[in-house]
Amino acid sequence: MTLRQLRCLCEVIDARFNLSLAARALHLSQPGVSRYLKMLESELGVPLFVKAKNRFTRLTPAGQAIADVARRTLRELETIPAVARDHREGDAGSLVIATNPGHARYSLPAVMERFIKRHPRVRVRIRQGDSSQVSEWVQGGEAELFISTGPTEPNPELALFPCQAIHPVVLAPARHPLTLKRRVTLHDLCACPIITYDTEFAFHRNIMRTFHGARLRPDILLSASDAEIMKIYARAGLGIAIVAHSAYDKTLDRGLRAIDASHLFNSTVLHVGLRRNVYLTRHLIAFLQLFAPHLKLEDVRRAIAG
Amino acid sequence: MTLRQLRCLCEVIDARFNLSLAARALHLSQPGVSRYLKMLESELGVPLFVKAKNRFTRLTPAGQAIADVARRTLRELETIPAVARDHREGDAGSLVIATNPGHARYSLPAVMERFIKRHPRVRVRIRQGDSSQVSEWVQGGEAELFISTGPTEPNPELALFPCQAIHPVVLAPARHPLTLKRRVTLHDLCACPIITYDTEFAFHRNIMRTFHGARLRPDILLSASDAEIMKIYARAGLGIAIVAHSAYDKTLDRGLRAIDASHLFNSTVLHVGLRRNVYLTRHLIAFLQLFAPHLKLEDVRRAIAG
DNA sequence: CGTGATTACGTTTATCGTAATTATA
DNA sequence: TATAATTACGATAAACGTAATCACG
């Protein structure tokens, strides 16, 4: 039994049982593919394919069972070059993180500082995009992981790990009436012009759902994609900003007060997303341990493999 | 990257870095092995071995990581012929069950009857031995599974699954004074001559531990390896028998009464044991579903793989 | 006849062992 | 000088493509 035979088996299945197609994909001639399949079948002593007339039509149960093992095995083999590369690069190497601008700006810097201090030779790249973009980058291998909230629908190619809850806070200028309240209500918020994220943000949809659920129509004065912008307008007294709590820094944002709103709105969960069936480089593991220390490596591996 | 290269890598490690030894095991010449390792290293672009002078001494971290993957992969590949054989045999095939004589006699027949009815063409063989024998048979591939109690120490080669509790019962002739008691005590038992299993049985050691823990010295009149023998003597009124509850059948053993003793002695647990990293044939799975319907196939697979 | 699988056959390439070589203790 | 790894080289086998053939629509 050779790897070529197994690759052949899998490729023929992927080519919907067209040997010519599979041959092209494998950089082989059609007779070559035919031979390999025949060899494999005769070596295993069991037919793998059902042939109608002179065409391959589908797998036998044996073929299905064996193709499953073959696929798993080939996938695993493909990680070997990745392992080698990881070690070849020593403490260098690269790490591409895909994340939303907000998290790149607020959640990541503290972690990145520590990571870079510990792994100075790793070239880190932070790609910014919306939830669906970052997810596509990871699926396509353009990024090792993404850090994103957003309603990432279940995807068999990706493994998601919840990391932290992002809850909304209300930002208002220092002596704004709301800052005097012990506990603000949705009605209180609706009394003021509101500044928040653009409609395409999950955060926006999240808070709007809550308002509408309470049959309220908030006055969205301004929406933006960048919390810094919102803070400027809020500081100027044009309205109150509803932003992710991570966007507020007590010392940096002196002119603003943060008012807890976690009792009003649902929190969203920040997820780390990895592509399944990939080799976890040492740098990726190191980064995960810094960014999401609660994740157990073994659990991550299991989720990646399953 | 070829399978031969990976096999070579693993074999050289197993041969404690002696290429000549590994070559013999691989049915290759020594230069062949040398070549393969060199090819692998140059192909992966990373040294796998640490060489002192002109000897291989140990693995590099990269070598270790890659050898781990290689071993997993090779093991998985080896299951392919097993899968093929399983399907080649269709509804025939064979199943070797290793178990203790007692379980072969009392626990198994009911299950076997159903199994054979459903899988009439499977050749089943029941091998009888003590706990350590059955465990060795399974480890050595001479049996597919064992069914055994006994103090099977944790073994990385085996996966154990608890199946049922075996609790001791006291068997006494119909009008024996003990049968009148509502709840027997250890003292009550010590007042009679006792018939039980031989000392090498875990069951024997188990009940003796209990007696000794209560500072009692029971009068072991007779010990045997076969509960049928014990029942004969108990029926004759020579003593009371302490046996596994599974050895007693209300209708077959008319002359005897079973007296619950589960409050006196520890129960032992009947385990099914499988070798790790093997392919689970369809017949083995079918048998497991009959014998231990509480086991979820996925859990079994996971335990086998981990 | 066109598409797709198989068979036949010859060339190329890779595989692998023997023997010679180098290196270390 | 014995043991172990590497290099050199030639014989053998396998891998693979081209071309011819077969099978079906």
For B252-279, the pLDDT digits (tens) are 999 999 999 999 999 989 999 999 999 9
Residue A46, min C-alpha distance to chain B (Å): 5
Distance A3 CA to D15 C1' (A): 14
Instruction: Write the DSSP string, chain B.
Output: --HHHHHHHHHHHHTTT-HHHHHHHHT--HHHHHHHHHHHHHHHTS--EEEETTEEEEE-HHHHHHHHHHHHHHHHHHHHHHHHHHHHTTT--EEEEEE-HHHHHHTHHHHHHHHHHH-TT-EEEEEE--HHHHHHHHHTTS-SEEEE-S-----TTEEEEEEEEE-EEEEEETT-GGGG-SS--HHHHHTSEEEEE-TTSHHHHHHHHHHHHTT---EEEEEES-HHHHHHHHHTTS-EEEEEGGG--TTT-TTEEEEE-TTTS--EEEEEEEETT----HHHHHHHHHH-TTS-HHHHHHHHH-
pLDDT of residue A247: 94
- B chain contacts of residue A85, beta-carbon cutoff 8 Å: 45
Which helix (H) or strand (E) is A270 found in, with range? strand A268-275
Instruction: Show Cβ contacts of residue B302 under 8 Å, excluding neighbours closer than 6 positions.
Output: none
pLDDT tens track for A94-137: 999 999 999 999 999 999 999 999 999 999 999 999 888 999 99
Q: Which nucleotide minimizes the distance between its C1' and the CA of B53?
A: C24
Among A253, A291, A258, A250, residue whose Cα is nearest residue A95: A291
Rounded to whole angstroms, the Cα distance separating A20 from A233 reads: 64
Residue A101, SS3 per DSSP: helix
Minimal CA–CA distance to B158: which of B300, B51, B12, B294? B300
Give residue-wise pLDDT tens across range A215-229.
999 999 999 989 999
Residue B207 contacts residue B265 (beta carbons within 8 Å): yes
Q: What is the 3-state secondary structure (H, E, C) of B158-222?
A: EEEEEEEEECEEEEEECCCHHHHCCCCCHHHHHCCEEEEECCCCHHHHHHHHHHHHCCCCCEEEE
CB-closest option in B61, B76, B81 to A72 = B76
Q: What Å value separates CA B44 and C1' C21? A: 28
Distance from C-alpha of B101 to C-alpha of A241, rounded to nearest angstrom: 77
Nearest CA in chain B to A48: B84
- Say whether pLDDT at B124 is over 90: yes
CB–CB contact B80 A66 (8 Å): yes
Instruction: Kindly tell me if the per-residue pLDDT of B132 is higher than 80.
Output: yes
Confidence of residue A278 (pLDDT cuts 50, 70, 90): very high
Bridge partners, A166 (sequence order):
A268
Distance, Å, A127 CA → D23 C1': 55
Helix axes A108-118, A282-291, angle to 10 degrees: 140
Nearest CA in chain B to A43: B81
In the numeric block, the tokens 């989720």 are attached to A303
**Using CB atoms, which residue from A3, A61, A77 is nearest to B87?**
A61
Chain B partners within 8 Å of A69 (Cβ): 76-77, 79-80, 83
C17 nearest neighbour residue (CA to C1'): B29
Which residue in B45, B77, B81 is closest to A84 by CB distance? Answer: B45
Residues of B with CB under 8 A from a CB of A: 1-3, 44-46, 60-62, 65-66, 69-70, 72-73, 76-77, 79-81, 83-88
Question: Which single residue has its CA nearest the C1' atom of nucleotide D5?
Answer: B54
Which of A83, A284, A302 should we substitute to test contact with B (largest number of B Cβ atoms within 10 Å)?
A83
pTM given for the model? 0.81
Nucleotide C23 C1' to residue B266 CA (A): 66
pLDDT per position as a tens digit, A213-271: 999 999 999 999 899 999 999 999 999 999 999 999 999 999 999 999 999 999 989 99
Nearest CA among B166, B90, B107, B158 for reference residue B290: B107
The amino acid sitting at B298 is E
Q: Which nucleotides of C are covered by protein (CB under 7 A)?
A: 4-8, 15-20, 22-25
Distance CA B168, CA B259 (A): 9
